Amino acid sequence: MTSIPNLTMNDGHTIPQLGFGVFQIPQDETQVAVTTALEAGYRLIDTAQGYRNEEGVGAAIAASDIPRDELYITTKLTNSEQGYDKTLAAFDASMAKLGIDVLDLFLVHWPLPMFDQYVDTWRAFEKLQADGRIRSIGVSNFEPEHFERLAAETGVVPAINQVELHPQFPQTELRAYHEAHGILTESWGPIGQGKGLLEHEQIQAVAKAKGRTPAQVVLRWHLQQGFVVIPKSVNPERIRENIEIFDFELDGDDLAAIAKVDSGERLGPDPKTFAMR
């Protein structure tokens, strides 16, 4: 079975470099999808309170005979539960749904700067980590200005920032900020959310030359940039295809061809203005 390398975060904990995302998988399909992923060799599962499928993830964990310490579970605080006390309560609710005692990684899902609660929220994350209930604490969709505020007002630098990132929107400046501040980069929407990236002629050409699929080429690109990457699929063949990316390498010409795909355009919302809760 494919063995997935670990990356080390600024808190000393490690995270598998490839995981399985479950955004938009209905609750009643989630256990089967996660079980298929675990059987294929995935160990990191990326869910969120907002995905409304944490129970399905928990059912797959309970049904699996993989030791808990070999699994890596991420969930995210949903936007409506930001604030110190609400965060603590929402965390307990997630843990009950997931059926686990200690969470590997908890993320603030969106900064929502217009509501000005992410600093208080982060203080609750720090408490949960200090209490031993979460190994690593991180954020999602944060921009440098949000990190600067956390640094000025709180104590712990987030271990990771999960952001929209793929060859069409490679986040060059944000990645440089992460590197300068010891924050790991995790890519969401890594294969372009089924919105045309895999059909791009540059990606198709590299895939053909390498004898791999477009999804494998793009996922390999993430690995070679040092990102954690969490593709989603409910199709068992694609779930297996998306993990078979550790036995080939993209060379300089391949990377140059993939760089031409950059359009500078997001597929998802802009974190500075996204206000849904």
The catalytic residues are 51
Q: Does 127 bind ligand NAD (CB under 6 A)?
A: no
Min dist CB 192 to ligand NAD, Å, is 5
Nearest to 46 by CA among 17, 3, 66, 68: 17
Q: Is 275 within 8 Å of 115 (Cβ atoms)?
A: yes
Q: Which is nearer to ligand NAD, 32 or 67 (CB)?
A: 32
| d(C-alpha 163, C-alpha 161), whole Å | 6
Q: Is 202 within 8 Å of 261 (Cβ atoms)?
A: yes
Region binding ligand NAD by CB under 6 A among candidate stretches 81-89, 170-178, 183-191, 246-254? 183-191
Q: Does 26 bind ligand NAD (CB under 6 A)?
A: no
Min dist CB 221 to ligand NAD, Å, is 12
Q: Does 192 bind ligand NAD (CB under 6 A)?
A: yes
> Can you read off the two tokens belonging to residue 24?
């938009």
| d(C-alpha 217, C-alpha 226), whole Å | 15
Q: Does 191 bind ligand NAD (CB under 6 A)?
A: yes
Q: Is 258 within 8 Å of 167 (Cβ atoms)?
A: yes
Q: Does 21 bind ligand NAD (CB under 6 A)?
A: yes
Q: Which 242-271 residues touch ligand NAD, going by CB under 6 A?
A: 242
Q: Does 241 bind ligand NAD (CB under 6 A)?
A: yes
| d(C-alpha 131, C-alpha 128), whole Å | 5
Q: Does 162 bind ligand NAD (CB under 6 A)?
A: yes
Q: Does 104 bind ligand NAD (CB under 6 A)?
A: no
Q: DSSP letter string over 162-208?
A: EEE-BTTB--HHHHHHHHHHT-EEEEESTTGGGSSGGG-HHHHHHHH
Q: Does 240 bind ligand NAD (CB under 6 A)?
A: no
Q: How many residues bind ligand NAD (CB under 6 A)?
A: 25
What is the Rg, in whole angstroms, of the alpha carbon atoms belonging to the chain?
18
Q: Is 84 within 8 Å of 62 (Cβ atoms)?
A: no
Min dist CB 214 to ligand NAD, Å, is 7
* Helix, strand, coil % in the chain, rounded to nearest 5: 45, 15, 40
Q: Which 42-81 residues touch ligand NAD, going by CB under 6 A?
A: 46
Binding residues for ligand NAD, per CB under 6 A?
21-23, 46, 109, 140-141, 162, 188-194, 198, 213, 215, 230-233, 238, 241-242
